[in-house]
Amino acid sequence: MHCRCCKDRAILAKKPEKTNKDYMAKEVTPRAENYSQWYNDLIVKAELAEQSAVRGCMVIKPYGYAIWEKMQRILDDKFKATGVQNAYFPLFIPKSFFSREAEHVSGFAKECAVVTHHRLMNSPDGKGVVVDPEAKLEEELIVRPTSETIIWSTYKNWINSWRDLPIMCNQWCNVVRWEMRTRLFLRTAEFLWQEGHTAHATAEEAIQEAQTMVQVYADFARNTMALPVIVGHKSPGERFAGALDTLTIEAMMQDGKALQAGTSHFLGQNFAKSFDVQYADREGKLQYVWATSWGVSTRLMGALIMAHGDDNGLVLPPALAPIQVVMVPIFKTEEEHQAILDRMYAIKKELEALGHSVKVDDRDTLRPGFKFAEWELKGVPVRLAMGPRDMEAGTVEVHRRDTLEKQSMSVDGLAAHIHALMDDIQANIYNKALSFREANIEKCDDWEEFKAKIQTGKFLLCHWDGTVETEQKIKDETKATIRCIPVDSVVCEEEGRDIYSGKPSHARVVFAIAY
RNA sequence: CGGGAUGUAGCGCAGUUGGUUAGCGCACUACGUUCGGGACGUAGGGGUCGUCCGUUCGAGUCGGAUCAUCCCGACCA
């Protein structure tokens, strides 16, 4: 798909025909007519990531990785505050481990990368290398698609007594799922994530842990990513393979589709029984432990892009922006440049003292207009521009990325103003996403209306009879799935009749087309 | 694995019924003029036309095979 008239695949806003005065805050929603292309284009142009030579895999570039690192750091602190510790388990899992938990197998045993040999040799025909047929493994190793099995086989050795519980470990790692169709950040063959795995003495404690973690995710999404999410339970049909209950945070993207941004599972005793993990309780009786697992991935990067980006590029909430303030000097001569830079470095120091990350764009090979466009593309929340006129007047031009508004203001008191502006931008980005969601979520009680509306990118709150059959039929007919049975944000417990089957229902659930 | 499409410079693309030395835009290099919203001029560098086989006096162009990639399904955070 490319545009024949402009010979360019780019769909992000082009250099405007007329510049300067025509530039102003404008309607900033991604081009709905080709959201996917907008998304891919943005990722490449903002230098977040690119397709790798390996099919379905992704290269995360330094700028994109800096955002991911910031996410990691903030999440990691939250985990540790709940008593979780970090650990690391092997990449390779013996094939037999997968045979132990029946449901888990059916959910995960497919689409995995398998290691069958352990050595290469020079090709007999002298061209390159081939797999040494002599080096076949006794038992194949699976590249982890998730680590439940290897972790539970390890926990068995760690747990003997009630005194050993709870065990709460998290690992930051990569996992591999050999997906047929991939999309940058949203679904790649290999992705980065964190997975927490906990073992508890009682079901209540494990259920509590699963709830605590989904709230950690919700808090992170809302307050750090500025992403309004709905917390809820997955329907049995959408649950994680092997879980008794799956809690999720669901976000709405700007095309109205849903994105599952994080999950927390109550695994019951399934894994404990499969891997024979028992402890002696206070009476000395052997009991199986209760388990949870929870994770978020680089998919959060996709959510960030799709929820906030606009036609000018990425929009980063200040809490996640690797660069929060960029300063662009406008100059003609080298003396001017130096004088402006001196003043900018002074401001930079002030802002850094307030805890902000600041970049002075002192490249003398690029024109200011190019830099403006580039930093907007990269989503830097605030831009300060300063030229000869400002030098004379003691002012600076302050531009905010979320609204594209700019205003001239005095250098005096600038740092304090920027400091406050950060919170303002963070809140504004959240509120904008929230009002978008509110504008695109509604109750629906008519099946024909459902079929029409669900395709236009809406979250529909509908009654559901609680059966897998109905859920599946709706999915087959419309591609829509139950995103969650909400526990906050949009809870509506009321009597009604199932949208499809007409059977009685006690509460509405969230239906949407999902990524 | 089913259905559709595409492989020509780092990227995006032209290339007519087969015909001489394969082009264009962006990017890149050098110099100059510019610099308050994606600059412009001049001069340069860069290609076994995915691969193999065939048809032909002659193949980027026609035929076959093969490999790879992308899109639509099945699978999925």
* pLDDT number for residue A2: 29
Q: Looking at A378-467, list the stretches that DSSP marks H as alpha helix, in order from N- to C-terminal side.
A: 388-393, 414-439, 447-454
pLDDT reported for residue A21? 35
C-beta separation of A2 from A8 below 8 A: yes
Q: Closest nucleotide to A146's CA, by C1' atom?
A: B77
Distance A45 CA to B26 C1' (A): 14
Beta strand A229-233 with A245-252: parallel, antiparallel or unpaired?
antiparallel
Residue whose CA lies closest to nucleotide B69 C1': A55
Q: Is A97 helix (H, G, I), strand (E, B) or coil?
A: helix
Spatial distance between the Cα atoms of A219 and A105, rounded to a whole number of angstroms: 32
Nucleotide B23 C1' to residue A41 CA (A): 27
Place of tokens 């790692």: A173
Residue-wise burial string across A370-409, b where 16 or more C-beta atoms lie within 10 A, e elsewhere: ebbbbbbbbbbbbbbbbbeebbeeebbbbbbbbebebeeb
Question: In whole angstroms, what is the distance from residue A400 CA to residue A380 CA?
Answer: 8
Nearest DNA or RNA nucleotide to A364 (CA to C1'): B35
CA atoms within 13 A on the CB side of A259: 26
Rounded Cα distance, A24 and A423, in Å: 23
Look at residue A100 and give its three-state secondary structure: coil
CA–CA dist A313, A49 (Å, integer): 14
* CA-based nearest residue to A135, from A114, A116, A117: A117
- Paired tokens of A201: 């003495």
Work out whether strand A114-117 and strand A58-60 pair parallel, antiparallel, or are unpaired. unpaired
Domain boundaries, chain A: 63-307, 325-436, 441-512
For chain A, first and last CA: distance in Å? Answer: 21
Q: What is the pLDDT of residues A304-338, one digit of tens each?
A: 999 999 888 999 999 999 999 999 999 999 999 99
Residue A391 amino acid letter: M
pLDDT means per 10 residues in chain A (515 residues)?
A: 32 49 41 72 88 81 95 98 98 88 68 85 71 88 91 96 97 89 87 96 98 98 98 92 94 92 95 95 97 96 93 94 98 93 97 98 93 95 97 97 96 97 98 96 93 89 92 89 94 92 94 91
pLDDT for the residue A273: 93
What Å value separates CA A129 and C1' B51?
20
Question: Measuring from the CA of residue A313 to each C1', which nucleotide is nearest?
Answer: B38
A370: the nucleotide nearest its CA (via C1') is: B38
How many Cα neighbours within 13 Å face the side chain of A499? 27
Q: Which nucleotide is nearest to A373 (CA to C1')?
A: B38
The residue that minimises its CA distance to C1' of B71 is A1
Cβ atoms of A209 and A203 within 8 Å: the answer is no
Segment (H or E) for A54: none
A7 CA – B21 C1', rounded, Å: 27
Chain B: nucleotides below 7 Å from protein CB are: 1, 12-14, 24-25, 34-39, 68-77
Q: Where are the alpha helices (DSSP H) in A4-87?
A: 35-45, 62-81
Our measurement of CA A30 to C1' B37, in angstroms, reads 20
Q: Are A415 and A350 in contact (CB under 8 A)?
A: yes
Q: Round and report the angstrom distance from CA (A303) to C1' (B60).
A: 43
Q: What angle do CA A64, A69, A75 make, to 5 degrees?
A: 130
Look up residue A509 and give its amino acid. Answer: V
Closest nucleotide (C1' vs CA) to A366 is: B35
Task: Spell out the residues 6+ positions from residue A163 whose beta carbon is closer than 8 angstroms to its own.
Answer: none
Out of 3.20.20.140, 3.30.110.30, 3.30.1330.90, 3.30.565.10, the CATH code matching A441-512 is 3.30.110.30
Is beta strand A129-131 parallel, antiparallel or unpaired with respect to A136-143? unpaired
Sign of the dihedral defined by the CA atoms of residues A39, A40, A45, A50, in that order: positive
C1’ B12 / CA A7, Å: 6
Nucleotide nearest to A329 (CA to C1'): B36
Determine the pLDDT at residue A3.
29
Classified by CATH at the fold level, domain A325-436 comes out as Rossmann fold (3.40.50)
Residue written as tokens 């929603």?
Answer: A29
What's the CA gap between A152 and A156, in Å, rounded?
A: 6
Q: What is the pLDDT of residues A340-379, one digit of tens each?
A: 999 999 999 999 999 999 999 999 889 999 999 999 999 9
Q: Which fold has domain A63-307?
A: BirA Bifunctional Protein; domain 2 (3.30.930)
Whether cis (ω within 30° of 0) applies to the bond prior to A30 is: no
Looking at residue A179, its pLDDT comes to 81
Spacing of A44 CA from B30 C1' in Å: 29
